[in-house]
Amino acid sequence: MDATLTATIRAWRDADPDPETAAELDHLLASGDEAALLDRFRSELEFGTAGLRGLLGAGPNRMNRAVVRRATAGLARHLLETVPDAAPRGVVVARDARRGSDAFALEAAGVLAGHGLKVWFFDDRAATPLGAFALKELGAAAAVVVTASHNPPEYNGYKVYWENGAQIVPPVDAGIAAGIAKAGPARALPFLPREEAEAKGLLVPLGEELVRRYHDAIAALVLHPGEGRDLRIAYTAMHGVGARFTLAALARAGFANVRAVGAQNEPDGAFPTVRFPNPEEPGALDLALSLCEETKADLLLANDPDSDRLAAGARDSAGRMRLFSGNEIGVLLGAYCLSERTPRPARPLVVTTIVSSSQLGTIARNLGAACAETLTGFKWIENRALELERTEGATTVFGYEEALGYSVGDVVRDKDGISAALVFADLAGWCRARGVTPWDYLEELQRAHGLFLSAQRSVTIPGPAGASAIAAIMDGFRASPPSAIGGLAVVAMRDYRAGVPGLPKSNVVAYLLEGGSRVTLRPSGTEPKIKYYFELRETPQGAEPLAAAKGRGETRLAGLVADFVRLASERGQPA
């Protein structure tokens, strides 16, 4: 093994505050496992607008206590340099129930306190939206939430919010990354253990009072209190932290007939009943669907492990439990908040993304509201909403991205699966009081505002060659754009990397098709995947039943997807 690499590994091990990961490196050095060592040391986890996310383990290319210390030192340096009164305003620190989250949160708190910054520390594990809420509620300078959201159990992450309450965007991410680059070895960084920080007044525990304030705030989002509260609801926390918060919110709103999936109700970072704890993944909601049949539930609600996302299902008019897509939930919640909120804001605003359905934008415009589109991710949604509130006097009513992320109002400047679950239950109760189901309400919206059908495909290409393969696919579509997809002519191509007015540059390509349909492709920002998003607009013919138009549209959408997959294969996508 290269002597320089060996010296680098030994220096990292000597500075590692965690004896377990230090021992992991000793074992790899002793075994001569050069491939494993190169994987841990060929690069560092990149700090970007999503913060950090990676596999647990030793070395700079893994999530561990040493990496968290250095990341927090970079955050502390940038805060003290750029945010007035950052030290007394402090930083909120929260964490979920993943492996390592408790230790990482204490590491972050210790480094922040070591730099003289007050730490508002959640004593118990908390949902990610609670961290974002506390930042806004306490007027803190920033927040750190230790979470890897819905990733598999081998992952953890580190999410940063700025003083405006939203996730960081450029140039803040670059400023923090520059601070990390200047940080020394982990053991050499300023650090105060919790007891010492608390004794000096630099660590303030957060408990039930803050949680109560959150519940008070989201309770005000309910639009039809008392209606349809006899609904039977099945809920799953997906082994995460959501049960404590979501079940309390539903009970407070009067939903008494709620049953939780017992095997998934307690926080467990091993995720023993589901390999990939993402409600979007096939099979992830099997236990919840079984509970629906056992209890004859009218409504299914599911949070991901850190409770910032919501999946939902409901029985249709034939009595079948059916899951909504992320776009369908977004359209339902957005339309409900726009049409039923009273008093109506003077300048209502909804914000969505370039890969989410354009149906909500159509509904918003038809209802006299503004709709803004951003790049993918709630960091963009909320920062754009804040900008429009400041410059145009808008009132943000709703924001969403199709990957099950929703924000109702401005209680939390991030996606919030807890408040979204509460408002979706309220919507379902309102529908029940009107003698319809949420599926019927969706059909009402489609009849009034148009029929938009969507689909998504993700292709995982892991390993060192994966990034190159994904880049080649993107470059192939740029170099050789199709003239038609699925029999629909391409009327325009948008290359967001080259620049689209009003949006930051990003590695995204969209093809706008005749008739209002579109296809969008982009690499995932957190996983070794390339994602394809499809939307097809179908027009019912005369008095044609909507079901017939939908069936025809779904056939056309399947053809659109199949043709695009063929085009992707021609441009290098593995079979």
DSSP states along 527-571: SSEEEEEEEEEE---TT--HHHHHHHHHHHHHHHHHHHHHHHHHT
Res. 421: pLDDT tops 90: yes
pLDDT at 348 > cutoff 80: yes
Confidence band, pLDDT 50/70/90 cuts, at residue 321: very high
- Would you name the residues annotated as active-site residues? 149
Q: What would the pLDDT profile of 308-317 be if each residue is shown by its tens digit? A: 999 999 999 9
**How does pLDDT run across 204-230, given as a tens digit for each residue?**
999 999 999 999 999 999 999 999 999
Report pLDDT digits (tens) over 140-167: 999 999 999 999 999 999 999 999 999 9
pLDDT score for 526 = 67
Which tokens is 61 given?
């290319």
**What is the three-class DSSP state of 92?**
strand
Any idea what DSSP says for residue 264? G
Beta bridge partners of 530: 459, 523
Where does 253-377 have alpha helices with state H?
A: 286-295, 326-340, 359-366
pLDDT in tens, 231-257: 999 999 999 999 999 999 999 999 999
99: pLDDT confidence band, cut at 50, 70 and 90? very high
Residue 391 has pLDDT above 90, yes or no: yes
Listed range (128-137, 393-402, 495-504) with the worst mean pLDDT: 495-504
Instruction: Return the structure tokens found at 255.
Output: 């939903």
> For residue 566, what pLDDT is reported?
94
CA-closest candidate to residue 506, choices 516, 492, 520:
520
Q: Measure the CA–CA gap between 265 and 240, rounded to whole angstroms.
A: 7
Residue of 174, 162, 52 whose CA lies nearest to 107: 52
**Encoding tokens for residue 551?**
């069936």
- State yes or no: pLDDT of 350 exceeds 70: yes
pTM for the full predicted model: 0.94
- Asked if pLDDT for residue 105 goes beyond 80, the answer is yes
Residue 212 class from Cβ within 10 Å (0-12 exposed, 13-18 middle, 19+ buried)?
exposed
Token output for 394:
């808008």
What integer pLDDT is reported at residue 505 of this predicted model?
Answer: 92
Closest CA to 167 of 386, 382, 359, 434: 382
